[in-house]
Structure 1
């Protein structure tokens, strides 16, 4: 019962459409029962010798008129049942996608992309089949069964009871096979998810596959997953393959009984030949619902199986959500971090330990440290990609947990390490925060991020399609477009998370010079592995193994001769070697 409620809750919005469709379906089913009766009358009148030409034409016209009405009725119920199931599919897909957008980053750490894609395609289609053809066949078979049996009883009760003997066996068989179909269809959907995930991952990493000459190995992995999908499908087909012929065989026994018993009844005059022919046609009408039971069970069980998987995701709640929010009009104040420690979900060792920082309004904080020192983790918490306890981070005097999530992220320009671009034009990627294109703002942002000249060299300028994940651009170009995307927001806080790693030192200096005028009145955080990127910051924090080991200005940190000094010396030596090699070349 719980599954049925879950399956049909999505149809409530369209209950009137379904109601109209079901009414027309019932009307068509009732009309379908009239022609056999008319044919019986015609047969009896012919056998009795009472038939006339006008009599036959009249009944033939009745049958033609009923056929026309049935055709119109079938069109209406298809539009209002099958068509409505498409509306439901559309709504559920929208709800599903919107819900995925609201879920927190950690959800995607624990769920594969291919599995989520399979739910939006294969599984959702199975739900639609249950809410369209499933409802149609269930209503059709129930109406036809009840009305046909009633009419058959009016012809001959004994013959009807004999013909209905196989019915309980059909019900028993359908229930028995239904559970097996449900389990095996779940396995098919899981196998499809794994196959989809493998293919999606392979296409995304095709350049790595080719550069490491792993085409044959990946092909063999695909064959293995494809074989698994094939085997699970064959296992399902075997059950369905036995199920449908078995239902048909049991249903055909009714005809055998009718031919034997009905023939004797006609011979002894218990029923007329016309009644026998009508009865035979009614039994034909009854065989379809008997066989449809199998299809209904099949569709509904597939729908239940797929709905289980979809509902599991739909019942996921965002780990990060607004709670006890306050009215905030600006984020242009100080950022204060007090005794912050953070451990990733599922991890044992803390990523950050006892972090204490104060970033004054309008100042710039530089963060530097070895790889894996949790520099990115710190700024990820500033945009609340993960939950943190209350009383640890404050912006403009407000606890970060009480600042509305959308307001927080809208007013922070965040440029991450991964320069992700969408498959659209350069201009649309820069203009991502806004719906309508403002070319003046797009050009200004591209100039500030030092990507404008590159864009002007492209054949289609700002209309250039960047390809999937920005595949047509270099790493440095992608990073600078990402910076432009953050700058166009005109945010109150700017965060650059090692976003200049793919450009050379000279370009980095040029970009930073352009950014200085933008960062002048904004609170800014620059994370970098290069000292040249952070040396002009008002304050520099040096992280090591999740802890702040040094803090101060560039000159003060050099005087301390600690980790910062070691990094500086190493990079200075690397720069001298590079300059020497350039001179030699």
Structure 2
């Protein structure tokens, strides 16, 4: 199993450009929740205003005491004012936390929905490039980083800006010279924060990519648990997972090192400012340049400035994480499906009755050699077979007929119309597909069968289940059709999974049914019943069945033989048996095996 499942790191060196691109993604959500954001910011301003007034009250009370004008009643009044302001801080803080943090949660939900909806538009080539673990990490860990940046990060940034501007104004009002002295260490903090933030961005990007690898490793190992145990690779898989975990911790510790520098340095700069104010401001108070009340108020305001100064490091950390994660999400949202066209395709008023392939060639994305070459076939109502050795192109042809990959213009026609000009959704709704390795959801049997037709009744579901010979087996489960079958149908045998997949396809009543070796795990005793159901379906639909077993293709109108991606023969059983070498070889091998099996049985 691969250990490198990471998304490629961002190649955009300009962080400002990345932030602008990310904000374009967030702008519609800010507009949607503008009242929440505005209300939260107003509540935050209310908190800051109340906090800023408290030192002024303290200054007035101290100056009053110094002048001898502060009696018991005056002190009581000042105390009441401070209590009222403190209560206001608590009330406004409650509202900003609910509004801003609520906004960040709504934003997280909407971005997750947007990401999931976009993934639904992408096609098979994309999912062959991206692992499930990567996408799961984006929808969980990365979105959590974005939510934190838009929640506490946003509120801390706004709070730091408002509080800094207001505090500096009050400090400058008391004494401009002392204010400049207090701010003298800040340029050092700004320069260091810029350097460390750039490094944090790069390191955190690596952390997120490593987390994607861990997620994919865990997912693939759990899904393949039976295989792991059969080959006794538990120790090996555990060691691989441990190596990924150690790599993750290594990069996470690098991030923690940078974070560990940001906070202490911010605090150190704040305390240096405090030291300068105590030394210079104390002398001013002694010399009478400022009053004792001014000095106490100035110290109080400087303490208020300590948080914004320390918040620079914390906010930079949150926003770097958020921007990095948002860029990874944006990378997926920038992906476009292979089938994207300039506008909506044509939607025919009649169902599919004829599919024509004309000199069809196909090369998988990223590969040089063609998998299919010069394919010419016609499919109309009835059963058509596809026969060939492994790697001959049968499954690829089935994928193209199901429109899982784009095809060249002028190579596939539906009812005489180029398939590329038809609406993709309309065509896919016209096709039912039963693969060799069916995917079943961790849901009930009924839900799995009705996946392609959710409105189907219980009678409809049971009818197709009887047709493929699995109704009796389903009823043996404790809860019958309501039984949950586990992820990928782990509670079922291979033949049962294939028959449920085929029942799902038959239930759709689509005019085109493609069976890609979808009967390979079905036992011989059930096979004839299943084939009878397929032949009945083929009376009014196009059925294309790829198989290695000639017995399954015995009722086909025509069989196409594929070898090396090319058609080497097309015709009936008798025609191919007389003309096609590969067909003759397969026929004699399977006929011989059948005869030997019967003789042993006798």
Query: Shorter-chain TM-score: what band?
Result: over 0.9
- How far has the Cα of 1:323 moved from its partner? 5.0
- From 341, 347, 357, give the equivalent of 1:337: 357
Q: How many residues align?
A: 582
Q: Which moved more, 1:169-178 or 1:456-465?
A: 169-178
Rounded Cα–Cα distance in structure 1 between residues aligned with 2:347 and 2:131? 37
By how many angstroms is 1:226 displaced? 0.6
Comparing 315-324 with 150-159, which one deviates more in the overlay? 315-324
Distance 1:306 1:294, change over 3 A: same
Q: 1:388: which partner in 2?
A: 407
Q: Which residues of 2 match residues 474-485 of structure 1 at below 5 A?
A: 474-485=493-504
Residue equivalent to 2:542: 523
Distance 2:341 2:454 in 1: 25
* Maintained 8 Å contact 2:193/2:313: yes
Distance 1:561 1:198 in 2: 46
Asked if 2 retains the 8 angstrom alpha-carbon contact of 1:333 and 1:397, the reply is no
Q: Which residue of 2 aligns with 1:549?
A: 568
Shift of the alpha carbon at 1:270? 1.7
Deviation readout 1:269-308 (Å, 9 max, x if unpaired): 2222222111111000011101111111111111111111
Q: Distance in 1 between matches of 2:443 and 2:554?
A: 36
Q: Offset of 1:561 from its aligned partner?
A: 5.3
Q: Distance in 2 between matches of 1:398 and 1:365?
A: 21
Please state how far the C-alpha of 1:59 moved relative to its aligned partner.
Answer: 1.4
For the pair 1:7 / 2:26, whether they are aligned, the reply is: no
- Asked if the contact 2:450–2:507 (Cα under 8 Å) also holds between the matched residues in 1, the reply is yes
Q: Secondary structure of the equivalent of 2:508? A: coil
Alpha-carbon distance between aligned partners in 2 of 1:22 and 1:269, rounded to the nearest angstrom = 39
Alignment of 1:21-40 (within 5 A): 21-40=40-59
TM superposition shift of 1:514: 2.4
1:332 Cα deviation from its structure 2 partner: 3.3
C-alpha distance in structure 2 between counterparts of 1:24 and 1:281, whole Å:
22
Deviations 1:414-433 (A, max 9, x none): 11111110000000000102
| CA-CA distance at 1:442 after TM superposition | 0.7
Which TM-score applies when normalising by structure 2?
Answer: 0.94
Between the aligned partners of 2:368 and 2:165, the Cα distance in structure 1 is 64
The separation in 2 between residues aligned to 1:561 and 1:393, in whole angstroms, is 26
Q: How does 1:235-250 map to 2 (within 5 A)?
A: 235-250=254-269
Paired with 2:218 and 2:295, the residues of 1 have a C-alpha distance of 59
- TM-align CA RMSD: 1.4
Cα drift, residue 249 of structure 1: 0.5
Deviation per CA, 1:203-233, whole angstroms, max 9, x where unpaired?
A: 1111111100001111111111111000001
Match of 1:173 in 2: 192
TM-fit CA distance, 1:35:
0.6
Query: Which residue number in structure 1 is paired with residue 204 of structure 2?
Result: 185
Matched, 1:206 2:225: yes
Unmatched tracts of structure 1, length 5 or more: none
Q: Which one is further off, 138-147 or 443-452?
A: 443-452
Partner-residue secondary structure (3-state), 1:33: helix
Tell me whether 1:289 sits opposite 2:308 in the alignment.
yes
Partner of 1:399: 418
Give the Cα–Cα distance (whole angstroms) in 2 for the partners of residues 561 and 511 of structure 1: 28
Return the alpha-carbon distance in structure 2 between the equivalents of residues 151 and 435 of structure 1: 66
What is the alpha-carbon distance in structure 2 between the residues aligned to residue 67 and residue 438 of structure 1?
A: 63
Contact 2:214 2:244 in 1 (8 A): yes
In the other structure, the counterpart of 2:464 is: 445
**What per-residue deviation string (whole Å, max 9, x for no partner) do you get for residues 474-530 of structure 1?**
000000000111111111111111100001223212210122222211111111110
Moved more, 294-303 or 37-46: 37-46
**Structure 1 contact 134–300 (Cα < 8 Å) conserved:** yes
- Residue 365 of structure 1 aligns to a residue whose secondary structure is strand
1:202 deviation in Å? 0.8
The structural deviation recorded for 1:407 is 1.0
Q: Which secondary structure state, in structure 2, belongs to the residue aligned with residue 488 of structure 1?
A: helix
> Alpha-carbon deviation of 1:331?
2.9
Tell me the equivalent position of 1:87: 106
**Distance in 2 between the 1:415 and 1:323 partners?**
31
- The SS at the match of 1:344 is coil
The aligned counterpart of 2:12 is none
1:337, 1:358 within 8 Å by CA — same for their partners in 2?
yes
Give 1:274's aligned residue.
Answer: 293
Name the CA distance, whole Å, in 2 between partners of 1:73 and 1:438.
54
Please give the per-residue CA displacement for 1:77-130, whole angstroms capped at 9, x wherever unaligned. Answer: 122212101111111101101111111101111112111111111111111122
- Compute the displacement of 1:143 (Å): 0.7
Map residues 60-139 of structure 1 onto 2, 5 A cutoff: 60-139=79-158
* The one of 482, 485, 499 aligned to 1:466: 485
Structure 1 distance, partners of 2:339, 2:88, is 57
CA distance in 2 between partners of 1:349 and 1:159 (Å)? 76
| 1:577 CA displacement | 2.5
Alignment of 1:421-436 (within 5 A): 421-436=440-455
Counterpart-to-counterpart distance in 2, 1:189 and 1:332: 47
How far off is 1:437 after superposition? 5.1
Q: Is the 8 A contact 1:366 1:525 kept in 2?
A: yes
Q: 1:45, CA displacement in angstroms?
A: 2.3
Does the 8 Å contact 1:322/1:404 carry over to 2? no
Find the residue that maps to 1:279 and give its secondary structure.
Answer: helix
In terms of mean alpha carbon deviation, does 295-304 or 418-427 score higher? Answer: 295-304
In the other structure, the counterpart of 2:13 is: none
Which blocks of at least 5 consecutive residues in structure 2 are unaligned?
1-15
**Conserved? CA contact 1:367–1:375, under 8 Å:** yes
Matched, 1:508 2:533: no
Equivalent position SS for 1:348: coil
Contact 1:542 1:548 in 2 (8 A): yes
Q: Which secondary structure state, in structure 1, belongs to the residue aligned with residue 436 of structure 2?
A: coil
User: Which residue in 2 is equivalent to 1:44?
Assistant: 63
User: Is 1:327 aligned to residue 382 of structure 2?
Assistant: no
Distance (Å, rounded) in 2 between the aligned partners of 1:435 and 1:355: 36
What is the Cα deviation at residue 321 of structure 1? Answer: 3.0
Residues 56, 546 of structure 1: alpha-carbon distance in 2 compared, 3 angstrom cutoff: same
